[in-house]
Structure 1
Amino acid sequence: MNSVALTRGKEWLGKSDLRPTRQRLTLAALLVGDGQNRHVTAESLFESAKDQGEAVSLATVYNTLKAFCSAGLMQEVTVDGSRSYFDTNTHDHPHFFWEDDGKLTDAPAEQLRIVELPDAPEGMEIAAVDVVIRLRKV
């Protein structure tokens, strides 16, 4: 892994209170090392780490992604209630889910118009609104 990717990963991880372990630094470099936002699954990040010759277990990857989310570095996007994707872009924005490929990408936020939301039940507040637009070939 190149030094630019490691430096970016270290700086990104430094925005949180998480301890910069070797495994966290490695995964952070894979996620943000090229300066681009990523949508990954635990499995795809595990494969990327393996391809780089990094010794990290799938359980560690999953736990690290969850820790990154808890620290506010990423957000988890759930599709179908069972498939989790992890997004390094933490700003509110919609997603496209490409059913044929099983991938998640950003959708153009400026084209989305939510005019009104229902009132939250008594004693509750709306914490977030997730928009996942499912796509399939015609």
Structure 2
Amino acid sequence: MTTPTATELGTRWLASAGLRPTRQRVALAALLVGDGMDRHVTAESLFAASMQTDERVSLATVYNTLRAFCDAGLMQEVVVDGSKSYFDTRMDDHPHFFWEDSGELTDAPADQLEIARLPDAPAGTEVAKVDVVIRLKRA
């Protein structure tokens, strides 16, 4: 049995969410999931990675494609500082480390996180999700 290529894995990933496999989507999907590893990317870092391939796409296309992937449930957006967005291919609920010195976002061990209690949601609302980003700096 042959190992699937990055393009094949990307195409399957798109199909799992019912997304049409356009040339640009397949190219970006291959970069995101083509090796089977989870990724935390910014639009700019994915754009830079795409520039190293034969299938170049514009930065606007990268932004639009990441939004489509999030809307389809393939990725989740992690906002740091209210202005910097990272896009995560790992879809389960899990905390993140944000490394202030390098600007890198990595997964934090979920089994070590305990949230004992949340504040009551205001009347007429419910908690949809809790995002945990732990900011780190070198000592």
TM interval, shorter chain, is over 0.9
Query: Unaligned stretches of 5+ in structure 2?
Result: none
Inter-partner Cα distance in structure 2 for 1:53 and 1:82: 31
Task: State the TM-score, normalized to the length of structure 1.
Answer: 0.97
Inter-partner Cα distance in structure 1 for 2:116 and 2:68: 34
Inter-partner Cα distance in structure 2 for 1:99 and 1:128: 24
1:18 Cα deviation (Å)?
A: 1.6
Query: Unaligned stretches of 5+ in structure 1?
Result: none
1:11-26 paired onto structure 2 within 5 Å: 11-26=12-27
Runs of 4+ in 1 over 4 A off after TM superposition: none
1:55 Cα deviation (Å)?
A: 2.0
Inter-partner Cα distance in structure 2 for 1:15 and 1:79: 28
1:83 matched residue in structure 2: 84
Deviations 1:63-118 (A, max 9, x none): 00000000000000000000000000010000000000001000000000001111
Matched, 1:100 2:98: no
Give the count of matched residue pairs: 137
The one-letter code of the counterpart of 2:81 is D
Inter-partner Cα distance in structure 2 for 1:80 and 1:91: 22
Matched, 1:9 2:10: yes
Provide the alpha-carbon RMSD of the alignment: 1.2
Inter-partner Cα distance in structure 2 for 1:48 and 1:4: 17
1:17 Cα deviation (Å)?
A: 2.1
Q: Which secondary structure does the structure 2 equivalent of 1:14 belong to?
A: helix
1:52 Cα deviation (Å)?
A: 1.2
Task: State the TM-score, normalized to the length of structure 2.
Answer: 0.96
Inter-partner Cα distance in structure 2 for 1:134 and 1:33: 29
